[in-house]
Amino acid sequence: MGIPEIKKMIADLSSKKIGMFHKDFLLTWEKSADELQATFLVADILRAMRVENVSPRLWHSGIAVSNFRDNSTRTRFSYASACDLLGLYVQDLDEGKSQIAHGETVRETANMISFLSEAIGIRDDMYLGEGDKYQREVAKSLDEGVASGVLPDRPTVVNLQSDIDHPTQSMADLLHLAHHFGGLDKLKGKKIAMTWAYSPSYGKPLSVPQGIIGLASRFGMQVSLAHPEGYGLIPEVVELSKKQATTSGGSFQHVNSMEEAFQDADIVYPKSWAPYHVMQQRVPLLHANDQAGLKDLEKQCLANNAKFLDWECTEAKMKLTKGGKALYMHCLPADITGVSCKAGEVAESVFDRYRDDTYREASYKPYIIAAMILLGKRQDPAATLGQLLERAHAREIL
């Protein structure tokens, strides 16, 4: 990498047809192929600039709102790093975790926090049927705020995980794959096994597997979704992924066997999640703060999970993959058998071999988030990046 490579990527970016300005990044399947590629390009450009000690700081001042309705360390740091890289100061909006505001409160709060804000990152993955809806309500309020002249500019909303999609994760994952295999175009025809795995916990959101099948199916990959019966994802997302796979020249397989999914896979992504219907049952219990009901549901769910203890990514299963050498992926933290739990998603020796790969996978997230913000805030992102390059302000005095 070097300055000439960065210039080439900026030229490449300027050839993309994108309409992301003053829009939000909520679901990858709402974005065109060019827009996805633009996001990857900007992420790579920002990363390369940093390596070359060219500051990608766009803003001399500006606020980035963070709204985490769920605990988070990884995404919080990724978001803070992305915002800081662009020059934005992160201010937390803490509305409490127990219930989501609607209507007047959302409209008002969205405006009140946005007078000098450039971006709003929202994580809300606990309540099936609500996270994405809430993000759209915020976005609509911002549109109205701009239309009425209350807001001087439109902050861009970035989905930091909703009930439906987890685009900062899936986009970072795909960028990792692009780097690993030597280019986005190299993903065509590669088989990726997105499979459920056993975990001694419950209630893990569906957004990661949904995000992966919803995005991998855009790049001509052979997507294999596997889970025990009764552990389905949101049906609409599965349907959409099937269609996308066909359109992009890939394929989509939906099986109830980890082994079948692993067969000849180039990439495996074994990860636990709660069944769709359980997530549905949880919502009224969470709203009612019904601890006894939640405890009961947990018990049932864990008892059911226990029937699928063999859904573990073991060395034996890895042998089934292409040349026994599929790339193992995980959004972290993984439930590692004998390390973080007695029995979990992955065998210790498998995880050990791929640990650095999973760390590398995670390392793309700050740049993906920064790219999403930049693309939501600039009509001609290539021109902006060109200016940053020309300005050549050092990120650090050496």
Nearest alpha-carbon partner for 265 in 312, 209, 224 = 224
Question: Is residue 216 close enough to count as binding a copy of itself by CB under 8 A?
Answer: no
Q: How far apart are the two ends of the chain, measured CA to CA in Å?
A: 19
- Tell me whether residue 111 or residue 251 sits nearer to a copy of itself (CB atom): 111
Smaller CB distance to a copy of itself: residue 261 or 327?
327
CB of 317 to a copy of itself, least distance (A): 21
Interface segment toward a copy of itself; rule CB under 8 A; list 21-29, 163-171, 310-318, 358-366: 358-366
For residue 167, what are its two tokens?
A: 């685009």
- CB of 243: closest distance to a copy of itself in angstroms? 35
Residues with Cβ within 8 Å of 142's Cβ and at least 6 positions away in sequence, in order, are 110, 111, 114, 120, 151, 154, 155, 157
Distance CA 80, CA 75 (A): 8
- Residue pair 194/267 in contact (Cβ under 8 Å)? The answer is no
Query: Cβ of residue 246: shortest distance to a copy of itself, in angstroms?
Result: 36
Residues 224, 218 contacting (CB under 8 angstroms): no
Q: Which is nearer to a copy of itself, 336 or 347 (CB)?
A: 336
- Contacts with a copy of itself, 299-338, as mask; x by CB under 8 A: ---------------------------------xx--x--
Q: What is the Cβ-side half-sphere exposure of residue 103, based on CA atoms within 13 angstroms?
A: 1
Beta bridge pairs of residue 346: 313, 336
Written as one string, the DSSP assignment of 287-306 is: HTT-HHHHHHHHHHHHHHHG
**At closest approach, how far in Å is the CB of 65 from a copy of itself?**
8
Figure out which of the listed residues 182, 229, 235, 356 binds a copy of itself, where binding follows CB under 8 A.
356
In terms of Cβ atoms closer than 10 Å to its own Cβ (0-12, 13-18, 19+), residue 57 is middle
Using the minimum distance from each CB to a copy of itself, give the nearer residue, 18 or 80. Answer: 80
391 makes contact with a copy of itself (CB under 8 A)? yes
What minimum distance in Å lies between the beta carbon of 94 and a copy of itself? 8
Question: What is the rounded distance in angstroms from the CA atom of residue 120 to the CA atom of residue 104?
Answer: 18
Of 222, 195, 229, 216, which is closest to residue 318 (Cα–Cα)?
195
Using CB under 8 A as the binding rule, whether residue 23 contacts a copy of itself is answered as no
Sheet-wide strand order for 63-68: 89-92, 63-68, 117-123, 156-159
> CA 286 to CA 100: how far, in whole Å?
11
Contact set for a copy of itself, span 100-159 (CB under 8 A): 103-105, 107-109, 111-113, 115-118, 145, 148-150, 152
Q: Does 62 bind a copy of itself (CB under 8 A)?
A: yes
Contact pick of 7, 22, 76, 204 for a copy of itself (by CB under 8 A): 76
Q: Is 43 in the site for a copy of itself (CB under 8 A)?
A: no
Partners of 158 in the β-ladder: 25, 121
The single-letter DSSP state of residue 272 is: -
The verdict on 393 binding a copy of itself (CB under 8 A) reads: yes
Question: In whole angstroms, what is the distance from residue 187 CA to residue 221 CA?
Answer: 6
Question: Counting contacts by CB under 8 A, is residue 180 touching a copy of itself?
Answer: no
Residues in the interface with a copy of itself (CB under 8 A) total 69
* Mask for 231-250, x = binds a copy of itself (CB under 8 A): --------------------
- Residues lying near a copy of itself in the complex (CB under 8 A) are found at 50-51, 55-63, 65, 73-74, 76-78, 80-81, 84-87, 89-91, 93, 95, 103-105, 107-109, 111-113, 115-118, 145, 148-150, 152, 332-333, 336, 339-340, 355-356, 359-360, 362-363, 366, 378, 384, 387-388, 391, 393-398
